[in-house]
Amino acid sequence: MRRFFVWAHRGASALAPENTLAAFQAAEAAGADGLELDVHLSHDGVPVVLHDETLDRTSDGRGPVAELVLEELQRLDAGSWFSAAFAGEKIPTLQEVLCRGGRQLRFNVEIKDSAAGKAVLGLSRSYPQASIVLSSFDHDLLYQLRRRAPQLPLAFLWEQPDWAAAVERAAACTAESFNPRFDFLSAELVAACHQRGLAVYPWTVDTFARLQHCWQLGVDGVFCNDPKQLLAWLKDLDQGRASSKF
């Protein structure tokens, strides 16, 4: 099969509550190449894995993540909102995820709050055996990280139609990839990135039609919520079996 990298977006978040160990384990079992996860800081400065600034949507907690210390955060239920089968699932720390990576998965750690940058960088250095790329929409933060760590793998996130200047910034920062929202993916964007040595991983790709479009444009991989389904579709594409039923 043509090399095509499958990032599990917040883990296998179609199958288990996003950004939990259950979602990451499901992604690994499905055969994903890498895990995408989001990081905020607890009140006591610990990088914890959660997408939103607040606890309301994906736990039984309320209010900003940054107002609770780790001990308080880990008493919350981060699974019942998704399904009763996941009742009691905890908000993991970044350290817990890196420790339980299983086979050689890559970790795409999205830094949601610039204040978390230094802590995440320090933790990543404590796990030299882990394959980690740090990503963010905050490109100034990525430049700061580059100055601190010249060899650190970085990824520029983007969700605007005017991508040209951002691609130039990513190349100047020696990022390894440019990760655009699917809506703004184009042949011109892919060509511009590849000319500058940047891989392209659009998000989020959860239909066959979207995957087929990405495949035809020659992207290097995608972010998806259901890696098991996407890998089955990839096999069909690689063998030339495109079907409109999807």
b/e 111-138 (16+ beta carbons within 10 angstroms → b): bbbeebbbbbbebbeeeeebebbbbbbb
What is the dihedral sign for C-alpha 225, 227, 233, 238? Answer: positive
Q: Are strands 177-180 and 221-224 parallel, antiparallel or unpaired?
A: unpaired
Find out whether 11 and 102 touch, Cβ atoms under 8 Å: no
**Residue 74: closest CA among 62, 89, 54, 95:** 89
Whether the link from the prior residue into 174 is cis, omega within 30° of 0, is no
Q: Return the DSSP state at 45.
A: S
Amino acid of residue 207: T
Helices within the chain (DSSP H only):
21-30, 70-73, 94-99, 117-125, 139-148, 164-172, 187-195, 208-217, 227-238
**CA 97, CA 35: separation in Å to the nearest integer?**
10
Find out whether 156 and 201 touch, Cβ atoms under 8 Å: no
Query: Which 3 state secondary structure label does DSSP give 102?
Result: coil
51 in active site: yes
Query: Among residues 40, 43, 51, 139, which one is catalytic?
Result: 51
9 in active site: yes
Residues labelled catalytic: 9, 51
